[in-house]
Amino acid sequence: MNTFKVSVQETSNNAIVKFEVNQFITKHQSFEFNNVDEAKPSPLAQQLFYLPFVKKVYISGNFVAVERYDIVQWTDVQDEVAQQIEAYLNGGGTVIIEAEAPKKIPVTVYAEATPNPSVMKFVANKKIVTALFEFTSIDEAKLSPLATELFHFPFVKSVFIEENYVSITKYDVSEWQDITIQLREFIKQFIESGKEVVLPEASEKLQNTSTQKDTHFEALDDTSKEIVNILEEYVKPAVASDGGNIQFLSYDETTKNVSVLLQGACSGCPSSTFTLKNGIENMLKQMLPGKVEMVEAING
């Protein structure tokens, strides 16, 4: 069984703390409870209301947000609350009793074109994964029920999934105007059904968890860490908005060459390889003078 892990995340409201779980605890549904009576559909929320400082509980996707009364400060109790939620989940505790739960919020999915003419981005109004995943064949997609089913469409070449969207790369045998509605409705119905988009153990098996990423980052040399931080802050947000991702692969201190992996809409895009390579190359040369000579962009 995949172990639940809970981390504490601050919010812009100092009365509310978000307890983020490393996997989904609801079927893409959101619930808000104002008191212990309202929380009958959620044994987890009821347990939290037994804490005298808990004012409101909000459960959605892969997190539990708790609002406190002013009788305590979160710094004094947040670690204990995180441990309590983690122990509850790992003990097999029920998060939501489906039969008693309020009616779920409808799922909406819209299609969005990307700079890559072979890729369409399908955006949901809910968070559907806790990490990013790319699958280039049905064999690779065994850890993702959604990607596996998408590969049953003969025109699907690869599937990239991140937070609240799915980027699909098609073969040239089909045109987007002929298949976009079909794919959008399929993804919408899949999410609405409450099926797992990726299996709970997917991140761990693909070495994609936050802990594994942090361990890998700490093992890097200082220049590689600087490169990763620059990519995370300046490049990834723009790339993600187009349905893609860029991933640091390696840095050679001798040749001063950097290798990056282009994923999703960026992979195989006629313009992105040149644009990203030169854009990133110029940025790294300016921000890390004397440390970077060339950037090699590899398609995922």
- Per-residue confidence of the chain (300 residues) as pLDDT tens digits? 568 899 999 888 889 999 999 888 887 778 889 998 888 899 999 999 999 999 999 998 889 999 999 999 999 999 999 999 999 999 999 998 876 655 556 789 999 988 888 889 999 988 888 888 889 899 889 999 999 999 999 999 999 998 889 999 999 889 999 999 999 999 999 988 878 898 877 777 776 545 555 567 677 888 888 888 888 888 877 777 777 778 888 888 888 888 888 777 676 666 666 666 677 888 888 888 888 888 887 776
What pLDDT does 290 receive? 86
What pLDDT does 270 receive? 60
What pLDDT does 215 receive? 63
What pLDDT does 1 receive? 53
Neighbouring C-alpha atoms within 13 Å toward the C-beta of 268: 14
What pLDDT does 77 receive? 92
User: Which pTM does this prediction carry?
Assistant: 0.62
What pLDDT does 46 receive? 93
Residue 64 DSSP SS3:
strand
Contact 25, 108 (CB under 8 A): no
Q: Taking Cα atoms as reference points, which of 199, 216, 210, 227 lies closest to residue 291?
A: 227
Contact 71, 38 (CB under 8 A): no
Distance CA 68, CA 74 (A): 8
Q: Taking Cα atoms as reference points, which of 83, 124, 84, 105 lies closest to residue 32?
A: 105
What pLDDT does 42 receive? 92
- Measured between its terminal Cα atoms, the distance across the chain in Å is 31
Q: Residue 68 corresponds to which tokens in the numbers above?
A: 């406190």
What pLDDT does 284 receive? 87
Neighbouring C-alpha atoms within 13 Å toward the C-beta of 244: 29
Distance CA 274, CA 234 (A): 18
